[in-house]
Homo-oligomer: A and B are copies of this chain.
Amino acid sequence: MASHAQDRIDPWGSVCIDDLEKLYTRFGIERITPSIKKEFSGNPFFSRNIVIGHRDLSTLIRAKKRGKPFYCMTGIASSGLFHLGHKVVIDLVLSLKEYGARVFFAVADIDAYVSRPDKKVPSIQKAKEYAIENLAHALALGVDERDVYVQSRMPSRYYEFAFELSKKMTENEYKAIYGHLDPGKMSAVILQIADILHPQLEEFGEPMPGIVPVGPDQDPHIRFSRDIAKRFRNRYGFFAPGGLYLLHMPALRSGDKMSSSKPETAVFLNDTSSEAARKISNAITGGRKTLKEQKEKGGEPDKCRVWALLRYTLESDSQLLEIREKCLSGGIMCGECKRLASERVGAFLDEHHKRLEKTRKKAEKMVLG
């Protein structure tokens, strides 16, 4: 039993999954094969191994080849501010939209309230404040407002469906997956699965293959959604929704991934370009103890948070590989990489803040009506 509990991927924790091999062999997440990379050629999330696995992506690819519809579902259930890690997920979703997916983008305000502790989200009103703020960012990042829905403003059929789903969950399986039976968190799970499946209802879309981009730690949700989908297959003709697993953007300093609750680990989308530059200048790098040593041995990009930042943000694969080579051979020092990263991130932030001026009002209207 103890080993079982350890093996469980905890969706409520915040631990990065380093052991990719275990994901494939023990949890049955499928690998990104060369033919999938070819299918998504030009998409940096696939070429750079940021997407590290999937469930049922092949069903979606088949639908695309046959000209049938398919969808990508994602959402924000924030109890904190958007950072570059959130941007990565949104960029991935936008790349899937370009590939042809119908996008369903949830502003999960009810979810954020019921699943987060009171000290973080003390009221549904506070959840809506976060929702407005983060939706403004999402819109500024290029999310199409027509693809967005706000959980608390859905038609009654959505909620009826959420409750409907709960009937097909058993106490024992729920406990086995999530390790708790807390009513509030259970509400969040029910809503999340409704979010994932409702695009396949005739009231909102149609039965079709779908994909949900998540961190590997969210795989239990995906697996559970797939199980529940099967239980309603006779009634609604659901396809089991697929998952697309991506590695979260690494933290700049301590910790595994950028986190809203640890400001120095992340570049927030509200940070000024100079704040961002300061955080980046303090980031952990793969540099050696002395310049001399680094020139001799080369740097260690796989340990470097600045290299990671570039890997998630630079447009050009070839420029990125060039930097990596230079680093390994001692031909580029950490300061230069930090300058490049600060420059790129700073330029993005300046543009983003301009767009944000226009999207805030729109977001407020979309959340509050």
Contact = CB atoms under 8 A, between A and B. Distances in A.
Interface of A: 110, 113-114, 118, 123-124, 152-157, 159-160, 162-164, 166-171, 174-175, 180-184, 186-187, 190-191, 235
A184 B166 contact: yes
User: Which of the listed residues A114, A124, A163 has the most CB atoms from chain B within 10 Å of its own CB?
Assistant: A163
Nearest to A153: B156
Contact of A114 (B113, B124, B163, B182): B163
Contacts of A187: 163, 166-167, 190
22 contacts: A110-B163, A113-B164, A114-B163, A114-B167, A124-B160, A124-B164, A152-B157, A152-B160, A154-B156, A155-B156, A156-B156, A159-B159, A166-B187, A169-B184, A170-B182, A171-B180, A171-B182, A175-B181, A181-B181, A183-B186, A186-B186, A187-B190
Contacts of A171: 180-183
A181 B175 CA distance: 10
Per CB-CB distance, the 9 closest pairs between chain A and chain B, nearest first, are: A167-B184, A159-B159, A169-B183, A181-B181, A166-B187, A166-B183, A152-B160, A114-B167, A163-B187
A236 B131 CA distance: 22
> Per DSSP, are chain A's interface residues mostly helix, strand or loop, or mixed?
helix
A74 to B, nearest CB: 20
A332 B160 CA distance: 54
B186 A163 contact: no
A156 to B, nearest CB: 6
Nearest to A169: B183
A309 to B, nearest CB: 36
A190 B169 CA distance: 16
A117 to B, nearest CB: 10
Contacts of A164: 110, 113-114, 124
Contact of A156 (B152, B181, B235): B152
A235 B113 CA distance: 14
A369 to B, nearest CB: 10
B163 A191 contact: yes
